[in-house]
Amino acid sequence: MSGLTTRHFERREIDLPMEFAVAEPQRDQVRFSPRSGAASAYAVAGRAVDVSPGGLGVRIQQFIPRMAEGVLRVFESEPAGASAGAPRRAVAFEHRVKVRRIVMCGHEPTYLVGVAFIDPAPDLDRRVRAILPQVAPIDPNPGAELPARSRPHA
C-alpha cells in the first residue's frame, strides 16, 4: 500500500466562518494557549474553505494534531445580531469530525486542515448542500459517470 492520500468525494469551495471545539475526552491532550489567539482553551476559529459529503477543509492559525476529534461548527456568512458589541452568527452546520491532515500554508502561521465526518447522519448530504451557495448537487458516488479507461493497444 502506498502513502498516497486520495479523496473519496468531490469538494466544493466555500468561504464561511467556522469553529472547531476539541472533544471532551481529548481535552487533556489538546489545549490552546491563551496567547495563541484561540477562541478558548478548547476551541479555535477560522474559515471553512471547502466541503464534501466526506468532510471539510478549514484554514486556522493554530496547530491541531492529526486524529484529534471535535465538533466543527460552520456559521452563516451574515451576522444574526450582536452580543456584547460583537457580531453573533447563526450555526449553519455542525457535526463531529476527526482531523485527517494538516499542512502549514503560511508564515503567520496558517494551517490548512482536512477533517472527516465521524458517524455521518443519514441527512448529512442534505445538510452539506444547505451550506453551499447555489451550485449543482454534490455527487455521493464520484467517478460513477466517468468513462472506463481504455485498454492499451497490443
pLDDT of residue 112: 96
What DSSP string runs through the chain? Answer: -------SS--EEEEEEEEEEE-GGGTTT----GGGT-SBTTEEEEEEEEEETTEEEEEESS---TT-EEEEEEE-SS--EEETTEEE--EEEEEEEEEEEEEEEETTTEEEEEEEESS--TTHHHHHHHTS-S-PPP-SSTTTTSPPPPPPP-
pLDDT interval class at 92 (50, 70, 90): confident
Q: Which one has a higher pLDDT value, 94 or 152? A: 94
Average pLDDT score, the chain: 80
Lowest-pLDDT range of 18-22, 89-93, 138-142: 138-142
On the question of pLDDT at 134 being above 50, the answer is no
pTM assigned to the model:
0.74
On the question of pLDDT at 153 being above 70, the answer is no
Quick one: 16-130 is in which CATH superfamily?
predicted glycosyltransferase like domains (2.40.10.220)
Q: Where are the domains of the chain?
A: 16-130
Per-residue pLDDT reduced to its tens digit, 105-129: 988 889 999 999 999 888 888 888 8
